[in-house]
Amino acid sequence: MGYCNRGSVFADRSGRRLCVECFPRSVGKAIWLEHFGSNADIYDQHFCPGLCRIFGGLWLNRKGPRVVALTGGTLYGLGVFLASFSHKLSWLYLSYGVIGGIGLGLGYIVPVAVLVKWFPDRRGLITGIAVGGFGAGALITAPVATRLIQSVGVLSTFAYLGIAYLIVTLVTGLFMQNPPDGWRPEGWTPTASQTSHRAGRDYTLGEALKTWQWWALWLLLFLNTCAGISIISQEAPLFQELAGVTAVVAASMVGLASIGNAVGRVFWAWVSDSITRRVTFLVMFLSQILLFWFLPNITTASLMTIVAFVVLMCYGGGFGTMPAFAADYFGPKNVGPIYGLMLTAWGFASVFGPLLIAHMRETAGSYRGALHVIAGVMAISTLLPILVRPPRTPDAGTTKIVSHPSTRALAGVRP
């Protein structure tokens, strides 16, 4: 019964990832160009999803994942659908940007918070797959959206996809549930290595913020994101300058390299289950030192694409590994708000990283100096995964464990 529930929960959350979080960027850009004559990108509105990830994590602990998932899915589907009535720029911001953005933020945190509870034996892999849906979903929905735009136009595409997202998220949201407190798979016992890298109890958000470990994990995510997003923000011009390719070839290179983001979320998270989260981040940082240092010397398009692919694997690996890292250090019970607030590192890095590389490129006249600076930052960053350890308290090791719950427990029936 327990494994059946784990399977349904995982399938449900994977499906929601592909639908809720990955409305294709091409649709957003198309509507701007067609109706407002601007190259601006509505995806630059990060504030709604960012704030709602924090709120969603807190609300999830109070009302449970089903309520948050249904609310997030409803708002996202509704926001996308209402965007089909966008004849003014302000309406597009309100519907797709604000309403859809709130739904996006609420929907993002639910799979992560729930899956770490159902899969304590494979936290890294399972959250990596879920977070990987954020990138993989766009690969699936982009061709569908492109075909719809060609067939029925941009505004009708918003309507069709909004309705589809609404139906799928409402149906799957009904199946969402947390396992009983302290649940673990039948026959599974944490190894000595796993126990040594996990906290002995569940921390609240307030307690986690009082530990230096929470801030260390925030900084780990911030530094790793800064490195990757610096490349993402300058990929096409960087490829054109260093490899001497045309804009068309550079665009193809960007598309291939971007796949590394989704691959890395699953790959590095899976690896972290074997070599620990700390060592995983250390390996990613060490890899990026070499990649960023030698990148300016690469002149062939194929090799540069491979290097960028690996860099984006490390970028995605941070997001795939960090949810399990947070659950290891602060317990799975309150990982929603704890990790939700930690994702503010993503927002800060999304501003700082691109500004830093753009400024250094403009000042120096080339990317070489900027890439070497990032390599230096990665070298200093290796100290963090070496030093960080799970918080220890006098009552460590007293977390209550429930071996294998009965059907009544899984259904939420109390004796």
Instruction: Summarize pLDDT for 32-68 with one digit per residue, the tens.
Output: 555 555 544 444 444 566 677 778 888 888 888 999 9
Residues 6+ apart with CB under 8 A from 141: 18, 19, 22, 23, 24, 161
Which SS3 state, helix, strand or coil, does residue 185 take?
A: coil
In whole angstroms, give the CA distance from residue 301 to residue 330. Answer: 44
Compute the C-alpha angle 243/247/248, nearest 5°: 110
Residue 87 has pLDDT above 80, yes or no: yes
- CA-CA distances (angstroms) from residue 193 to 229, 243, 273, 281, 328? 33, 45, 11, 17, 12
pLDDT score at 6: 55
Confidence tier at 379 by pLDDT (50, 70, 90): very high
Amino acid of residue 340: G
**Token pair listed for 43:** 């995806």
Residue positions counted in the chain: 415
pLDDT score at 37: 54
pLDDT score at 14: 45
Which SS3 state, helix, strand or coil, does residue 266 take?
A: helix
Q: Quick one: which of 406, 401, 415 has its CA closest to 181?
A: 401
pLDDT score at 56: 82
Instruction: Summarize pLDDT for 182-209 with one digit per residue, the tens.
Output: 788 888 888 888 888 998 889 999 999 9
pTM, entire model: 0.81
pLDDT score at 98: 87
Helix H, strand E, coil C: the string for 319-351 is HHHHHHHHHHHHCCCCHHHHHHHHCHHHHHHHH
In whole angstroms, give the CA distance from residue 166 to residue 9. Answer: 19
Confidence tier at 370 by pLDDT (50, 70, 90): very high
Instruction: Summarize pLDDT for 222-243 with one digit per residue, the tens.
Output: 999 999 999 998 888 899 988 8
Quickly list DSSP for 32-62.
IIIII-----GGG--HHHHHHHHHHHHHHHH
Instruction: Summarize pLDDT for 272-307 with one digit per residue, the tens.
Output: 999 999 999 999 999 999 999 999 999 899 999 999
Confidence tier at 20 by pLDDT (50, 70, 90): very low
**Token pair listed for 282:** 């250390």
**What is the separation of C-alpha 316 from the centre of its chain, rounded to a whole number of angstroms?**
7
Residue 345 has pLDDT above 90, yes or no: yes
Question: How many CA within 13 A on the CB side of residue 254?
Answer: 18
Contact 121, 188 (CB under 8 A): yes
Higher pLDDT, 389 or 138: 389
